[in-house]
Structure 1
Amino acid sequence: MSDTIVTHSAHDTAAADLGAHAPKPTALTDGLTEAATTTWSNGRIDTGLWECTPGDFTAERNGYTEICTILTGRVTIEVEGQQPEQFGPGDVMVMPSGWKGVWRVHEPLRKHFTTIDD
């Protein structure tokens, strides 16, 4: 594990190049793509940036918990048996291990994420 402290301003995280987009494997909408970069990892905890294009996809958090902050865009999260919730810039979400739902991305979405393995 590195002792290096990595910092980014809000402007840097919103404009950072995440590399080429690729098709989202769990997409429910044709043409939905995503890109991501990890900025720090220690083998159990990863943190970085992720973005995707508008559309719907399924997601599960098996074996890890994810904490994320929406940087740009808007998304509605649907979890079976619960009311849909909309998130936008500045909102923080926690998806514990075992979480399962559908993301409905309304406009290009970028988030900062941290995942923690069980």
Structure 2
Amino acid sequence: MSELAPGEGADAAAVDLSHAELLPEVVVEGSPTTALLPLATLGGTDGHVEIGIWEMTPGTATDTEADEVFVVLSGAATIRFISPELPALEVGPGSVVRLTEGMQTEWTVTETLRKVYIT
């Protein structure tokens, strides 16, 4: 599947995703993989807004975040905020989270996590 055409739809919870291994330097524990499927790029005040689906299998990995809002469709994870230091966040189906560019995070996924993101 590629970007959605105007008027086209997709089942975000069921669409097949192609996973890839993470770089060894970001893996903290386990052998998590991730998948990314951009669905649409829309014009915006900063040039563009991307909407897509992201998934991570169980394990722990670090990340440097982009400006993003996401909604968890399935799975479970704990997001630990390294910088800035904030309380850890437990997420699962229905969780809505906002991240800001440059945040340093550590994701511990206990059940394959799938989310729809807007960046």
Q: Which band: TM-score by shorter chain?
A: 0.7 to 0.9
Aligned to 1:22: 20
- Taking the aligned partners of 2:58 and 2:103, their CA distance within structure 1 comes to 22
User: Which consecutive residues of structure 2, in runs of 5 or more, have no partner in the other structure?
Assistant: none
Aligned to 2:90: 86
- Taking the aligned partners of 2:108 and 2:28, their CA distance within structure 1 comes to 10
1:71 aligns with 2:73: yes
Matches within 5 A, 1:1-118: 4-8=6-10, 12-19=11-18, 21-25=19-23, 26-42=26-42, 44-61=48-65, 64-80=66-82, 81-115=85-119
- Taking the aligned partners of 1:30 and 1:83, their CA distance within structure 2 comes to 23
Greater fraction strand: 2
Number of residues paired by the alignment?
A: 108
Amino acid at match of 1:34: T
Amino acid at match of 1:22: A
Aligned-residue offset at 1:7: 4.0
Aligned-residue offset at 1:5: 4.7
* % identical equivalent positions: 32
Amino acid at match of 2:21: P
The 3-state SS of whatever aligns with 1:74 is strand
Amino acid at match of 1:14: A
Q: Residue 114 and residue 99 in structure 1: after superposition, are their counterparts in 2 closer, same or farther (change >3 A)?
A: same
- Taking the aligned partners of 2:35 and 2:27, their CA distance within structure 1 comes to 14
- TM-score w.r.t. length of structure 1: 0.81
